[in-house]
């Protein structure tokens, strides 16, 4: 096949919809133009023999920006971390300061991302009592990936805890809604368990299994009569997985690499408050239950819940210490290590990190290597053995709970719409991320 291309990726093993094949990939005008043995000319050609060319990894749960606080993560550092980790697109959560609950706040984030974001991006609108009547309009704005609902208090101020407001939020709109499902009343009732100098190991006792199950049960009970599709974020219990499996017509499911990799009490003994996140890291039995849900197809998406906090904040005594940890940069190597260990097939990894996110949120031209799709690629060396270190982390906080962990599998290049933005652990060029587009909101 002799054609002219802007870029040809040569000699890699390419993850096509038909399976892994040795092939070249030709890119023209930012999209995939041909797959096969390509003999045509190209402005740029990259030899990838021995490497796997995967669809661009999409992280649909990151927390990036709090303007005015220089030590906090922002769009530039957070998306740089994404690109260095092999992630080509991110969806940002609304509970930063100021919260993204209005059209003006969304427009501000999109404007600030222009020329600063290394990867493609979109932003959630946060549901709140004061904007319920606007949600149907807000969820259809350009650059919006949908509505995010906090049923239980976490880091940030967004919260919809009472049932009438929750029902109203579910009725206002049609796009899939992302939900943090913890029962606020139970959290408040049990807060005394961790007051007065408790250990971080008490975090999963305070925010216990019942706290998660009660919220997920209520969510499904109200979502069905509203006809609303929901995406339950960072599910941590086997009990929820069993419940969600009965509601797959309206409910999709996310798990995080942290909950699949870490387990209490060991992680709290070793990491202290650096292992603190919401919902919490639970015990080994629950970790294994999550893996069974992955194996059985209940889980649709892997998201990092990237929510970094500085060491000064994390050093505060529990429970004054904030919940959250870095994750966007380590998502690919951590999950590839699970592939190398035989816990996950490469095909399932692709489904959870590329095809799944694009399918769940209806992303236009994302999630697969096929002619006509955006030329987004996560190029990986499946055999490379590296060690994750704090020094590698681009986030402002400069730490990861996986510091010192040896992994098999590493991102070698990040390519977004035909532009190589990362190669061999170095960022290239200038930030040129674009807003994501969604099938349910395409104009005309």
Per the CB < 8 A criterion, the answer to whether 239 and 270 are in contact is no
Summary mean pLDDT of the chain = 95
Split at pLDDT 50, 70, 90, the class of 95 is confident
Which letter does DSSP use for residue 438 in this model? B
Residue 154's pLDDT is: 60
The count of other CB atoms within 10 Å of the CB of residue 340 is 17
Residue 156's pLDDT is: 55
pLDDT greater than 70 at residue 2: no
What's the order of all strands across the beta sheet hosting 177-180?
Answer: 57-62, 87-92, 120-126, 144-150, 177-180, 230-232, 251-255, 301-302
d(CA 386, CA 330): 12
Least confidently predicted of 58-67, 80-89, 129-138, 165-174? 58-67
Per the CB < 8 A criterion, the answer to whether 108 and 356 are in contact is no
Per-residue tokens: 6: 């802007």
Helices 209-226, 238-245: crossing angle, 10 deg rounding: 20
Residue 9 CA from chain centroid, whole number:
26
Per-residue tokens: 110: 């999109």
Q: Is the peptide bond prior to 191 cis by the omega test (within 30 degrees of 0)? A: no
Do the bridges between strand 419-423 and strand 426-427 make them parallel or antiparallel, or are there none, so unpaired? antiparallel
Split at pLDDT 50, 70, 90, the class of 67 is low
Q: Is the peptide bond prior to 26 cis by the omega test (within 30 degrees of 0)? A: no
Question: Which of the following is catalytic: 59, 208, 305, 337?
Answer: 305
Residues 6+ apart with CB under 8 A from 426: none
Split at pLDDT 50, 70, 90, the class of 40 is confident
d(CA 11, CA 23): 6
Per the CB < 8 A criterion, the answer to whether 125 and 145 are in contact is no
Q: What angle do CA 109, 114, 120 make, to 5 degrees?
A: 85
Split at pLDDT 50, 70, 90, the class of 242 is very high
Residue 326's pLDDT is: 96
d(CA 223, CA 207): 23
Per-residue tokens: 382: 């499946």
The string of pLDDT tens digits covering residues 116-164 is: 999 999 999 999 999 999 999 999 999 999 999 999 876 555 788 899 9
Split at pLDDT 50, 70, 90, the class of 196 is confident
Per the CB < 8 A criterion, the answer to whether 268 and 277 are in contact is no
Residue 396 CA from chain centroid, whole number:
18
pLDDT greater than 90 at residue 305: yes
d(CA 107, CA 115): 15
pLDDT greater than 80 at residue 220: yes
Instruction: Kindly state the average pLDDT of the residues 309-315.
Output: 93
Q: Which residue has the tokens 């339950």?
A: 232
What's the half-sphere exposure (Cβ side, CA atoms, 13 Å) at 286?
22
Q: In the structure, how many helices (H) and strands (E) does the chain have?
A: 15, 17
Split at pLDDT 50, 70, 90, the class of 444 is very low
- What is the SS3 assignment for 311? helix
Q: Which residue has the tokens 């796997």?
A: 52
Is 305 one of the annotated active-site residues of the chain?
A: yes
The count of other CB atoms within 10 Å of the CB of residue 16 is 18
Question: Pick the residue with more confidence: 74 or 251?
Answer: 251
Per the CB < 8 A criterion, the answer to whether 127 and 158 are in contact is yes
d(CA 102, CA 109): 11
Per the CB < 8 A criterion, the answer to whether 215 and 152 are in contact is yes
The string of pLDDT tens digits covering residues 174-194 is: 999 999 999 999 999 999 999
d(CA 134, CA 358): 25
Q: Which residue has the tokens 């023999």?
A: 49
pLDDT greater than 90 at residue 345: yes
Just give the CATH number of 57-361. Answer: 3.20.20.140
Q: Which residue has the tokens 């059209």?
A: 103
Do the bridges between strand 19-28 and strand 419-423 make them parallel or antiparallel, or are there none, so unpaired? unpaired
């Amino acid at each position: 096949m002799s054609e002219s291309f802007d870029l040809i990726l040569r000699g890699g093993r390419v993850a096509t919809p038909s399976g892994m094949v040795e092939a070249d990939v030709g890119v023209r005008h930012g999209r995939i133009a041909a797959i096969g043995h390509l003999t045509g000319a190209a402005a740029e050609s990259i030899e990838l023999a021995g490497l796997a060319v995967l669809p661009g990894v999409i992280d649909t749960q990151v927390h990036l920006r709090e303007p005015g606080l220089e030590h906090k993560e922002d769009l530039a550092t957070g998306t740089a971390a994404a690109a260095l980790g092999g992630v080509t697109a991110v969806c940002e959560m609304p509970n930063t300061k100021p919260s993204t609950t209005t059209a003006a706040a969304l427009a501000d984030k999109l404007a600030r991302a222009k020329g600063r974001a290394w990867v493609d991006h979109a932003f959630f609108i946060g549901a709140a009592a004061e904007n319920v009547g606007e949600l149907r309009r807000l969820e259809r704005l350009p650059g919006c990936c949908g509505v995010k609902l906090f049923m239980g208090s976490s880091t940030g101020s967004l919260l919809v805890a009472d049932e009438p407001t929750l029902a109203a939020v579910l009725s206002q709109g049609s796009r899939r809604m992302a939900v943090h499902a913890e029962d606020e009343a139970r959290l408040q009732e049990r807060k005394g368990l961790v007051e007065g100098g408790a250990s971080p190991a008490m975090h999963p006792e305070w925010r216990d299994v019942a706290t998660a199950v009660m919220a997920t049960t209520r969510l499904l009970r109200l979502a069905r009569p509203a006809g609303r599709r929901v995406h339950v974020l960072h599910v941590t219990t086997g009990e929820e997985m069993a419940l969600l499996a009965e509601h797959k017509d309206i409910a999709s499911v996310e798990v995080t690499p942290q909950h699949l990799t870490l387990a209490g009490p060991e992680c709290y003994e070793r990491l202290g408050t650096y292992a603190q996140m919401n919902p919490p890291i639970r015990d080994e039995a629950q970790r294994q239950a999550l893996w069974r849900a992955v194996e059985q197809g209940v889980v649709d998406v892997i998201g990092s819940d990237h929510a970094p906090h500085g060491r000064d904040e994390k050093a505060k005594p529990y429970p004054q210490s904030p919940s959250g940890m870095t994750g966007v940069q380590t998502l690919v190597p951590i999950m590839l290590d699970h592939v190398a260990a035989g816990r996950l097939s490469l095909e399932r990894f692709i489904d959870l990190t590329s095809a799944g996110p694009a399918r769940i949120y209806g992303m236009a031209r994302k999630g697969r290597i096929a002619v006509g799709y955006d030329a987004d690629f996560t190029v990986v060396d499946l055999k490379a053995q590296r060690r994750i270190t704090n020094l590698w982390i681009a986030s402002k906080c400069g730490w990861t709970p996986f510091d010192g962990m040896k992994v098999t599998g590493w991102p070698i290049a990040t390519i977004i719409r035909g532009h190589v933005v990362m190669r061999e652990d170095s960022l290239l060029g200038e930030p040129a991320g674009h807003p994501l587009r969604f099938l349910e909101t395409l104009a005309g």
